[in-house]
Amino acid sequence: MTDDVQPSAPSVLLTVEGGIATVTLNRPDAMNSLDHATKELLVPTIREVAENPEIRVVVLTGTGRAFCVGQDLKEHIAGLQAGDEGLGVTVQEHYNPVALLLATMDKPVIAALNGVAAGAGASMALSADFRIMVEGGGMNLAFAGIALSCDTGSSFWLPRLVGVAKAKELLLLPRTISAQECLSLGLVTSVVSADEFPGAVASLAGTLAAGPTRAYGAMRRAVAFSAAHDLSEALDFERDRMNETGSTDDHRAAVDAFLAKAKPVYSGR
């Protein structure tokens, strides 16, 4: 007798094509909330795409009607009732590594927001370089709604995107911010219709995958460095990144193409 039961799909999917890695949160029935199993899979998946030199751009998205609504509260409540360890453990083991990898990998990151992003889901989106949101999507910095502080880098990214006063408003008085308001506040790069969404994500990812990957990574690091250092230190850091990128194959290809009045073809090296 054969068993026709099919194994369930993993809660984090990874596809790689043409230098584009797509990491998809795959718990649609739970609005892609982050239970322990998902977090345990997400950390090594993000690390894998960060460290793979053949991957030139990363897209983070979700299945179903939500991008990610953050911590799985049902699992969290069960843990509280069982006397499990505090949230600081999962923040240290899961949320912090994901936030750091997304923000510092040497390649651009796109958050493809197929629906609402809340809590740690919103924080992950904010760490990306580009955020494309579907019409009808939204963000909610929901932490205060369950009497928790913020995590996954929201205290770092939010004031840099909207200013300190607005960041505190959105954190202390959480609400669902519509797609259009997200756009006006600078929380997302663009808002597109559901029909346009896949093409818009693919187009941006393709453009970035064909670009000078190491230069993109150097600029990401330079911007992050300047946020915590003075001008003199930032200038020194920029100098070192110029030396680094000036010796790349892509820089030579760009110079040769300029002299030949042709369009450069980049290898990402």
Q: Are residues 80 and 202 in the same domain?
A: yes
Residue type, 42: L
| Per-residue pLDDT tens over the stretch 124-168 | 999 999 999 999 999 999 999 999 999 999 999 999 999 999 999
Tell me if 158 is assigned to some domain. yes
Q: Are residues 172 and 251 in the same domain?
A: no
Question: 30: domain range?
Answer: 12-209
| Per-residue pLDDT tens over the stretch 193-211 | 999 999 999 999 999 999 9
Q: Where are the beta strands (DSSP E) in 41-158?
A: 57-62, 66-68, 109-113, 116-118, 130-134, 138-140
Q: Are residues 139 and 176 in the same domain?
A: yes
Task: For the chain, give percent helix, strand, coil, nearest 5.
Answer: 50, 15, 30
CATH of the domain at 228: 1.10.12
Quick check: 108 and 58 in contact, CB under 8 A? yes
Q: Are residues 167 and 225 in the same domain?
A: no
| Residue 84 banded pLDDT, cuts 50, 70, 90 | confident
Q: Are residues 197 and 232 in the same domain?
A: no
Q: Are residues 58 and 74 in the same domain?
A: yes
Our count of domains for the chain comes to 2
Tokens of 158: 């939010």
Q: Are residues 81 and 120 in the same domain?
A: yes
| Per-residue pLDDT tens over the stretch 162-186 | 999 999 999 999 999 999 999 999 9
Going by DSSP bridges, is the β-strand pair 138-140/177-178 parallel, antiparallel, or unpaired?
antiparallel
User: What letter does residue 132 receive in the DSSP assignment?
Assistant: E
Q: Are residues 79 and 109 in the same domain?
A: yes
Q: Are residues 20 and 110 in the same domain?
A: yes
Residue 170: which H helix or E strand, with range?
A: helix 164-172
Tell me if 268 is assigned to some domain. no
Query: pTM here?
Result: 0.92
Q: Are residues 186 and 91 in the same domain?
A: yes
| Per-residue pLDDT tens over the stretch 245-255 | 999 999 999 99
Tell me if 161 is assigned to some domain. yes
Tell me if 132 is assigned to some domain. yes
Quick check: 27 and 78 in contact, CB under 8 A? no
CATH of the domain at 191: 3.90.226.10
Residue 89 has pLDDT above 90, yes or no: no
Q: Are residues 19 and 93 in the same domain?
A: yes
What sign does the CA torsion over 45, 171, 133, 114 have? positive
In degrees, to the nearest 5, what angle opens at C-alpha 49 toward C-alphas 43 and 54? 165
